Amino acid sequence: MAYQFIHMECFSRKGGGKGRSVSYVLAEARRDPAASIHVPTPAPPVVVYGISPDQVERLHDDRADAAMTMPKGGKFRRIQRTQHTLMTVVASHPLTMDEVRAEPTKRRAAEQWEGRTVAWLRDTYGDQLVSVIRHEDESHFHLHAYILPDDPAMRANGLHPGQVAKADIMAAGPAAGEDSRAVNKRGDAAYKTAMRDWQDSYHRTVGIPCGLTRLGPARRRLSRAEWQAEQVQATALRDALDRATAVKAKAEMYITATKGEAARIASKAAATQAEAARKVQAASEAASAALLAQNRAVAEQRKAASMMARVRAEGIRVREAAARLRTLPGIVRGLWDGLRRSAVQDRIRRDVAAEMDVIRRSAADAAERASAADAARRQADELARNLRATVTDVARDLAAARQELAALRPDDEGLDAAPAAPRRR
């Protein structure tokens, strides 16, 4: 057998003609001895979803005791014990329990069917599905689901698609030219259509992915060859769906990995961009600092050049004074000034020494700043070299001035031979 089997049934607290009440159905579910005489070796059920049969019975009884209905009189009253208050669904897999226990492959197939069946029940009934159990002490792998209606009157028939469809037809009444038999026949047709839709929904969600056919061979009067061909087709469809599911999972995994890689690349690019912006900012600041240092070096160079011009002018003045000393009046004045240690010579020495100190300090400061500017801009190096060359020229000029002054200084012997001043009478 490789076709689906699913069945639903409603129960009341009082029980129907066969005596199957809510309490009896739940006693059978938990394998009470009095309700399990059809099972050779009863075993406790396995709770697959929700609560145990004992808890289902307590929850059902509490809700049924509190349920109220309002008849046409407009006064609330408790529901009758004959009202259906529990919906059950039985779903069975073609595999036997011996096959499931013996072969891991078939065990996995049965577990996959079980998971899909529970998911379909949850999607169909929502929170009204309170329990799903599995019995492993019977011939085939199967499930029992228990559903409690959530309406105030606790009408389980409202969960039965066939009964709801027929009730709608009967409530609308006969159409023009119909009698009660025709209306009932139309209601039966609506019942069957609704139940087929219910079975089709289960087949689309569970049967097809699990390789089960919608109907068995006997109902459609298929030959053995036709039935085997349909089984092969159902298995091929299941395999195709499995491959499609695997491809989809692989694609989703690839998409997830690609998104993660893209996010990583974007993050790395953002970090690189931020680092580049930081370096650009640092380079801009360094360039500004170098430009400022260059401007300072140029200013110092100009200042040094101005001082050199002053020194050269002073040298010219000294040389002019020396030329004047070469004349006879100048010699006499020079001899007299030599006796007084020449105030002009002392002033020149002091001025030159002061200017040299200023020049040395300025040159050292300019060289230091030019060296700092050279780290940021290479142009500052040329300016520093020019400054050092200028200082060298100044030193050379000062040395020449000293030599000229030394040549003009009178000898000590000449000073001793100077004539004495005439004595007054």
Q: Where are the domains of the chain?
A: 5-248, 292-416
Beta strand residue intervals within 22-122, DSSP E: 46-50, 68-69, 77-78, 84-96
pLDDT confidence of residue 92: 94
Per the model's pLDDT, the better-predicted residue between 119 and 403 turns out to be: 119
Ranking 31-35, 259-263, 346-350 by mean pLDDT, the lowest is 346-350
Of all residues in the chain, the percent with pLDDT exceeding 90 is 43
Edge-first strand order for the sheet with 129-135 is 5-12, 84-96, 140-147, 129-135, 46-50
Amino acid identity for residue 271 in this structure: A
Kindly report, residue by residue over 252-277, the tens digit of the pLDDT.
Answer: 776 777 787 778 887 887 888 888 78
CB 212 within 8 A of CB 16: no
- Token pair of 2 as six digits: 């490789």
pLDDT confidence of residue 420: 44
Ranking 35-39, 84-88, 160-164, 338-342 by mean pLDDT, the lowest is 338-342
- Token pair of 129 as six digits: 């599905």
- CB count within 10 Å of CB 103 equals 13
Average pLDDT over residues 377-385: 66
Q: Is 79 helix (H, G, I), strand (E, B) or coil?
A: coil
Q: Give dist(CA 102, CA 106) in Å, integer.
A: 8
pLDDT confidence of residue 144: 98
Average pLDDT, the chain: 80
Q: Place 119 in a pLDDT band, splitting at 50, 70 and 90.
A: very high
Per the model's pLDDT, the better-predicted residue between 421 and 354 turns out to be: 354
Residue 244: partners with Cβ closer than 8 Å, 6 or more residues away: none
Per the model's pLDDT, the better-predicted residue between 226 and 415 turns out to be: 226
pLDDT confidence of residue 251: 58
Checking if the pLDDT of 357 tops 70, the result is yes
- How distant, in Å, are the alpha carbons of 7, 44, 137, 275, 406 from that of 118? 14, 20, 20, 55, 121
Checking if the pLDDT of 26 tops 80, the result is yes
Name the CA dihedral angle for 174, 177, 182, 183, rounded to a multiple of 10 degrees.
-10
Q: Which helix (H) or strand (E) covers residue 267, if one does?
A: helix 224-325
End-to-end, the C-alpha distance of the chain in Å comes to 170
pLDDT confidence of residue 18: 78
**For the chain, what's the residue count?**
425
- Buried residues in 309-319 as b, exposed as e (16+ CB within 10 A): eebeebbeebe
Within 126-208, residue ranges assigned H as helices are 161-172, 180-202
pLDDT confidence of residue 413: 42
pLDDT confidence of residue 227: 44
For the question of whether the overall pTM of this predicted structure is more than 0.85, the answer is no
Q: Give the CA count within 13 Å in the CB-facing half-sphere of 66.
A: 10
CB 354 within 8 A of CB 391: no
Amino acid identity for residue 68 in this structure: M
Q: Place 390 in a pLDDT band, splitting at 50, 70 and 90.
A: confident
pLDDT confidence of residue 156: 97
Q: Give dist(CA 18, CA 283) in Å, integer.
A: 95
- Buried residues in 58-97 as b, exposed as e (16+ CB within 10 A): eebeebbeebeeeeeeeeeeebeeebbbbbbbebbbbbbb
Q: Give the CA count within 13 Å in the CB-facing half-sphere of 155.
A: 12
pLDDT confidence of residue 335: 59
Per the model's pLDDT, the better-predicted residue between 211 and 30 turns out to be: 30
Of all residues in the chain, the percent with pLDDT exceeding 70 is 72
pLDDT confidence of residue 201: 95
Checking if the pLDDT of 206 tops 90, the result is yes
Q: Place 150 in a pLDDT band, splitting at 50, 70 and 90.
A: very high
- Token pair of 272 as six digits: 């690189």
CB 12 within 8 A of CB 223: no
